Amino acid sequence: MKDLRPLLEQARQDHLYRRPRVLESPQQPEVVVDGQAMLSFTSNDYLGLAADARVAEAFRKGIDRWGSGSGAAHLVTGHSRAHQQLEEELAAFTGRERALLFSSGYMANLAVITALLGRGDTVIEDRLDHASLVDAARLSGARLLRFVHGDLDAAERQLSKASGEKLLAVDGVFSMDGDLADLPALAELCRQQDTWLMVDDAHGLGVLGASGRGSLEHWDLGNEQTPVLMGTLGKAFGTAGAFVAGSGALIETLIQQARTYIFTTALPAAVAEATRCSLQILQEESWRRTRLQELVAQFWEGAASLGFELPPSSTPIQPLIAGSSEKALEWSGLLAEQGVLVTAIRPPTVPPGSARLRITFSASHTDAHLQCLLSAMERLPR
Strand blocks (E) in the chain: 30-33, 36-40, 98-102, 122-126, 143-147, 166-171, 196-200, 228-232, 242-246, 317-323, 340-341, 344-345, 355-360
Q: Given this model, what pLDDT does residue 82 score?
A: 98
* 173 and 310 in a common domain: no
Q: Given this model, what pLDDT does residue 365 score?
A: 98
CA distances, 76 to each of 71, 229, 266 (Å) = 9, 25, 10
Report how far residue 352's alpha carbon sits from residue 267's, in angstroms, rounded to the nearest whole number.
Answer: 36
Establish whether 327 is a catalytic residue. no
* 355 and 290 in a common domain: yes
Q: What is the DSSP string of 106-173?
A: HHHHHHHHHHH--TT-EEEEETTS-HHHHHHHHHHT-EEEEE-TT-HHHHHHHHHH--SSEEEEEESB
Residue 77: count of CB within 10 angstroms of its CB = 11
Q: What is the DSSP letter of 350?
A: S
Residue 2 maps to a domain: no
Q: What is the DSSP letter of 266?
A: P
* Residue 136, domain CATH: 3.40.640.10
* 160 and 37 in a common domain: no
| Given 40, 103, 132, 175, the catalytic residue | 175
| Nearby residues of 237 by Cβ (< 8 Å), 6 or more positions away | 47, 49, 205, 206, 275, 278, 279, 282
Report how far residue 246's alpha carbon sits from residue 230's, in angstroms, rounded to the nearest whole number.
Answer: 9
Report how far residue 116's alpha carbon sits from residue 197's, in angstroms, rounded to the nearest whole number.
Answer: 12
Report how far residue 20's alpha carbon sits from residue 183's, in angstroms, rounded to the nearest whole number.
Answer: 35
**For the chain, what is the domain count?**
2
| Nearby residues of 326 by Cβ (< 8 Å), 6 or more positions away | 15
| Given 166, 235, 327, 365, the catalytic residue | 235
Residue 10 maps to a domain: no
Strands 242-246, 228-232: parallel, antiparallel or unpaired by DSSP? antiparallel
Q: Given this model, what pLDDT does residue 2 score?
A: 92
Structural domain that includes position 217: 53-284
* 208 and 104 in a common domain: yes
Residue 112 maps to a domain: yes
| Given 83, 166, 203, 218, the catalytic residue | 203
| Chosen domain end from 284, 308, 334 | 284
Q: Given this model, what pLDDT does residue 382 score?
A: 78
Report how far residue 207's alpha carbon sits from residue 257's, in angstroms, rounded to the nearest whole number.
Answer: 31
Query: Which amino acid makes up residue 40?
Result: S
Give me the helices (H) in 178-258, please.
183-192, 215-219, 248-257
Residue 219 maps to a domain: yes
| Chosen domain end from 284, 310, 345 | 284
Residue 1 maps to a domain: no
Strands 36-40, 340-341: parallel, antiparallel or unpaired by DSSP? parallel
Full-model pTM: 0.96
Establish whether 211 is a catalytic residue. no
3 state SS of 251? helix
* 70 and 40 in a common domain: no
Residue 41 maps to a domain: yes
* 118 and 42 in a common domain: no
| Chosen domain end from 284, 307, 332 | 284
* 293 and 269 in a common domain: no
* 105 and 61 in a common domain: yes
Report how far residue 227's alpha carbon sits from residue 348's, in angstroms, rounded to the nearest whole number.
Answer: 30
* 356 and 263 in a common domain: no
Q: What is the DSSP string of 290-307?
A: HHHHHHHHHHHHHHHHTT
pLDDT means over runs of 10, the chain (382 residues): 93 92 95 96 98 98 98 97 98 98 98 98 98 98 98 97 97 97 98 97 98 98 96 98 98 98 98 98 97 97 94 95 95 97 96 96 98 96 84
Q: Given this model, what pLDDT does residue 223 score?
A: 94
* 290 and 273 in a common domain: no
* 265 and 203 in a common domain: yes
CA angle centred on 301, ends 299 and 306, rounded to 5°: 90
* Residue 296, domain CATH: 3.90.1150.10
Residue 12 maps to a domain: no
Residue 162 maps to a domain: yes
Establish whether 203 is a catalytic residue. yes
* 70 and 29 in a common domain: no
